[in-house]
A and B are shown apart, each in its own frame.
Chain A
Amino acid sequence: MQLYLPIAELSLNLFMLVGLGGAVGFLSGLFGVGGGFLLTPMLIFSGIPAPVAVASVTGQVVAASTSGALSYWRRGGIDLKLALFLIVSGVCGAFLGVWTFGQLRSAGQLDLVISLGYLIFLGSIGTLMLIEAVRSIIKHRQQGDSRPTKLPGKHNWVHGLPFRVRFKRSNLYVSIFPVILIGGGIGFLGSLLGIGGGFILVPALIYLLRVPGSIVIGTSLLQVLAIMAATTILHAVNSQTVDIVLAFTLMTGSVIGAQFGVSAGQYLRGDQLRALLALIVLAVAVRFALSLLLTPSDPFSVAVLSSVGGG
């Protein structure tokens, strides 16, 4: 059954879209990430124009983050003060990201930056995650118990910076600079690449700020939710590329898929999950690396600069 997408101005199979949302939702439920980094490239591959894909996925990520954020909120797994700092800096980053998005689009280098961005960030995060997870799995085998990997020390160089703020819920007393930098960076990348950024934010909060594991997922979900909500509105106003029909179809699939993902996640250990997620992240990075390194089958591409007459 074909579904016409009024903003993308093309028809796609309804079941394919719901299925795509469902598959990505399954993964996001399994790993606790938004799944934007998988969904956006897949939509572009399906023929949806990159600007529409990026902007509509931000709407989908909002829905995917909401149910998770709510359940963590009920369990008290959110540090509101930390989230607020991350959100305020993140919205500033998102403003910059949406502006850069428009500039690159008219310069014809948006594809390159998206490819490079995905390659660098997914590649480095994926590699780090994989190393960490494999180490943890090996340790688990040797010791035979399932103790969580202990982080080396409570403090690192980040904790020596000035302008410290106390985050009671996270049991942290840390400089606001790394917090603002992380928040702003995620907001910038998220709006530019059409990703929630949870998979970058979670490791950054754990490894740089030493936020406790019980708080980190809920807080990052709330941050992603707020930033993506702001980005959706920014894209809607700035480029009018948010396709509500596409976003709604994707989010319907993804919230259902996420439920199965959560159940499936209970059968896997944390380190195995992280290794699996790292492999998926790396696969997407490799896919982008190939598109940059291999001789393109068609060196020419076409883009519409000023939109054709409405009606």
Chain B
Amino acid sequence: MMRLLLALFTLAVMTVQASAQRLVMSTSEPVVSISSNFAGDTITIFGTIEPDIGFEHDQVTNNYNIVISIKGPAGTYVARKKTHQYGIWLNGEQEAFEGFPSYFALVSSAPLEKIADAGVLSVNGLAFDSSPHIRPVRRTQNTDVFAQQLIRLMKKRGLYSLDEHGVQFLSDTFFSARIALPAHVPNGTYLANTYVFQNGELIDNAPQRFTVRTVGFERFVANSAKEYSLIYGVVCVILAIFTGWLSGVVFRR
């Protein structure tokens, strides 16, 4: 609760909008910790739509719709298509995409097409294939097809998801959404962006960052592998030889 109050206060100071309403929101966890028994996690995003300073509460009308986008750290992804050559199937064409989000969830309070026009959604990055996310390294005639396939594969892996009833209004102005992070979410900084729509128009948005990272032993292992890779490799070999030797001793082969 303290965290919520703090977030409310911070955002109240930060958000200066011309409109009569403003959005305050926060996430349940600023850090999602991955430990040895991590099997995915659920993060809750909640917020409220407040009257702006100088406006009365009854000027805040209803009919709000919320769309939340959660994006994971971006990387260069490549989509490949198998083609039939020389009697076997092998990877033929491929298209690479830069700055492609490794995780992307869209959660909304209603079906997206009822909230706003596709154009409005796309400009704000509220579609998987909107231009901010699709940055082909080299644009060809097949780019769009490969982009769609890439998104489909990411959905299949559970890293891209769309939930059009994921945002619940607990009162006229207070909402919350639960977003599932699967066990194989990449580590890094995530950006949750909440957009408030009213009658098809965007009236406010607010970003919130949270971090997904390994902790404790897992973090130590991942860091060691990156920073002390030679020592890490040697330790792996010593561990393997020791395990093999121990089993020989224990079972007296």
- Using CB atoms and an 8 Å cutoff, list the residues of chain A in contact with chain B: 1-4, 6-7, 9-11, 47, 59-60, 62-68, 70-71, 108-109, 111-112, 225, 229, 232-237, 240, 242, 244-245, 247-248, 251-252, 255-256, 258-259, 262, 291-296, 299-311
Contacts and interface: CB of A to CB of B under 8 A. Distances in A.
Nearest to B84: A295
22 contacts: A4-B36, A66-B240, A66-B248, A67-B245, A108-B78, A234-B233, A236-B230, A240-B229, A251-B240, A251-B244, A255-B243, A255-B244, A255-B246, A256-B247, A292-B88, A293-B89, A299-B82, A300-B152, A302-B77, A308-B75, A311-B73, A311-B187
A235 B96 CA distance: 25
Nearest to B244: A66
B235 interface: yes
B77 A303 contact: yes
Contacts of A300: 79-82, 146, 149-150, 152-153
B154 interface: yes
B18 to A, nearest CB: 34
A15 B76 CA distance: 34
B183 A4 contact: yes
A274 B248 CA distance: 24
A108 B73 CA distance: 23
B37 A3 contact: yes
B38 A62 contact: no
Count class of interface residues, chain B? 35 or more
A67 B237 contact: no
Best-buried of B189, B240, B247, B253 by chain A (most CB within 10 Å): B240
Given A237-B229, A259-B247, A109 B87 contact: no
Contacts of B35: 4
B68 interface: no
A252 B39 CA distance: 22
A59 B38 contact: no
A65 to B, nearest CB: 7
